[in-house]
Amino acid sequence: MIKKVRNTICRSEEMIMSTEQQARALMMRHHHAVKNRQQSMLGRSASEIGIDNDNGYGETVQRRFSSDFSSQTYDRSGATLS
The rounded distance, in Å, linking the Cα atoms of 70 and 63 is 11
The rounded distance, in Å, linking the Cα atoms of 34 and 26 is 12
Span 8-36, pLDDT tens digits: 555 544 567 788 888 999 999 999 999 89
In a domain, 42, yes or no: yes
In a domain, 60, yes or no: no
Q: For the purposes of burial, counting CB atoms within 10 Å of the CB of 37, is it exposed (0-12), middle (13-18) or buried (19 or more)?
A: middle
Span 49-65, pLDDT tens digits: 888 766 555 555 555 65
In a domain, 28, yes or no: yes
In a domain, 39, yes or no: yes
If one counts the domains in the chain, the total is 1
30 touches 24 (CB < 8 A): no
Full residue range of the structural domain in which residue 49 is found: 19-54
The rounded distance, in Å, linking the Cα atoms of 23 and 59 is 28
* Whole-prediction pTM: 0.48
